[in-house]
Amino acid sequence: MGKIIAGIGTSHVPSIGVVYDQGRTQEPAWKPLFDAYEPVKDWLKEIKPDVAIVVYNDHGGDFFFDKYPTFAVGAADVYPVGDEGWGRRPLPDFTGDADFSWHLCNELVYNEFDITVCQEMAVEHGFMVPMHLCWDHGSDWPVKVVPVAVNVIQHPLPTALRCWKLGQAIRKAVESYPKDTKVVILGTGGMSHQLNGARFGYLNSDFDRDFLDKIQNDPMALTELTHQQIMEDAGAEAVELIMWLTMRGALDGAPLRQVHRNYYAPMTTGMGLIALEEAV
């Protein structure tokens, strides 16, 4: 049977990808960020998930506002590395598990999540940065993936509570998968940041640290946040954080152990990390 074994919340800032590709991860200002993922990488090597469900948003990698899905789920055996305008990054394409994805899509729709099913889907920094922060790769990745894209950039956005419920529905779907499959779910984006207007660069580290506390211990409080509150307190682009609630919703009901947590805010985005595992 399928089983959710762990969840990770992580930021997905594009500059992390540039620095990674240029081999600059040990520069003094970057080291605190990249080193924080080492314990997570080691832990993932131990628990060896078969599939990573990655909840992220597309920033104009493959989707545009001509038709921008509220929730979209990949259902392919391969997800190519997209070109967001900087050229194709030197990363291997991602291997999917179309059987698992289609099971997920069926169950989600029959549980009233009317997602867009994507048989072709190029992935971009929102998806890729968390992947290479958490997993080493050679010519392939050590885990199969399911990209789950959420609209957090063009209002109206799904509510925080809706994102949480999507996570609960994902858990149910995973648990009804007949093949033994260990699943880790990633909620990505945020934390505090604003990229538009004269408020560009707004950060709120207190908000971010409180969010990190609550995502583990009091997620229901976070489901009550409106987009307005998040944008006021943490910046207009911080609404991405609602995607962490999908990750956390997928862990709902299980006793959790914190594997690792980190916070670093060097430039314009609070870069958060939390890794949670289901205590057996």
Partner 1 sequence: MAKQVDSERPIEDTKIFDAEQTRLGYRLNKFAMSLVKLANREAFLADEDAALTASGLNDEEKQLIRDRDWRAIMDEHGGNIYMIMKIGAVIGEGLYQIGAHQRGQTYEEFLATRNAAGAK
**Would you please indicate which residues are annotated as catalytic (active-site) residues?**
125, 193
Contact set for Fe ion, span 187-246 (CB under 5 A): 189, 240
Q: Which does 83 bind (CB under 5 to 8 A by kind): Fe ion, partner 1, none?
A: partner 1
Angle at 73 between CA 72 and CA 76, to 5 degrees: 135
**Minimum gap (Å) between residue 151 Cβ and partner 1:** 11
Nearer to Fe ion by C-beta: 2 or 235?
A: 235
Q: Which does 189 bind (CB under 5 to 8 A by kind): Fe ion, partner 1, none?
A: Fe ion
Whether the CB-CB separation of 168 and 216 falls below 8 Å is answered with: no
Q: Is the peptide bond before 69 cis (omega within 30 degrees of 0)?
A: no
Nearest to 150 by CA among 37, 244, 78: 244
The span of 159-167, 170-178, 184-192, 265-273 binding Fe ion (CB under 5 A) equals 184-192
Q: Two tokens at 278?
A: 């289901």
249: contact with Fe ion by CB under 5 A: no
Nearest to 204 by CA among 164, 236, 228: 236
Is the sign of the CA dihedral 132, 137, 143, 146 positive or negative?
positive
Contact residues toward partner 1 (CB under 8 A) are 14-15, 19, 27-30, 33, 59-61, 64-66, 82-87, 153-157, 159, 194-201, 224, 226-228, 231-232, 236-237, 265-268
- Binding stretches for Fe ion (CB under 5 A): 189, 240
